[in-house]
Amino acid sequence: MVKISASSQIISSLVLAATSAALGYYLGSRNASPPSEPTSTPVEKQESLKEEEAPQEEQEEETEEGEDSDDGSDDEGFADGDLAAISAGFLEPCKMVLVVRTDLGMTPGKIAAQCGHATLACYKALMKKNPKLVHHWERTGQAKIALKGKSEEQLLELEAIAKSLNLCARSILDAGRTQIDAGTRTVLAIGPAPVALINEVTGSLRLL
């Protein structure tokens, strides 16, 4: 009887130990956290930060340095007449004249630049006051005639006459960056307007 009791105790102890071990394993496996991702080393972290914070290369805008501009300003001089008063018939020819001072000895390139300034000055002024006339001039060929002028006094006289007839007239004062002194009056533009009306002002001048 004593032997049976001793063996029973041994068996019970083994069962309890096995049960405890199994229960402990089960509980341990449930509470165990999932394996964490491998942490990066300090060196890897620094390289990653460098990649993220690396500034993008700035692209410098390239600017082309053009030639010195041959600027000129338009001088309204005498007050304008009623620019809106001029009109043209359905197919009536219109033109703009450019009176160029020949006493200044300007080169062809200089003359072309000054005529461009004068043309634009008249165009902008008349588009504000009489766009219908400008559009008529555009539809009928945009005629532009270059004429010879002999002096500043002549340009001023022609400008005064043109404005007294309600014609748009603008003379150009050179900026003085190239061939001639600043403030020199170079070109007078008149028009656009009907040919017959402009001829009342410049009909006696010769072609450039």
**Which residue bears the tokens 């539809």?**
139
For residue 76, pLDDT over 80 is answered with no
Tell me the pairing of strands 169-174 and 143-149: unpaired
Q: Mind listing the pLDDT tens digit for each residue in 115-132?
A: 999 999 999 999 999 999
Residue 101 is predicted with a pLDDT of 98
Cβ 119 vs Cβ 144: under 8 Å: yes
Q: Is the pTM of this model over 0.85?
A: no
Q: Quote the pLDDT of residue 136.
A: 97
Q: Is the pLDDT of residue 2 over 70?
A: no
Question: What angle, rounded to 10 degrees, do the helices at 152-164 and 195-202 form?
Answer: 140
- Angstrom distance (rounded) from CA 73 to CA 185: 10
Q: For residue 178, what pLDDT is reported?
A: 86
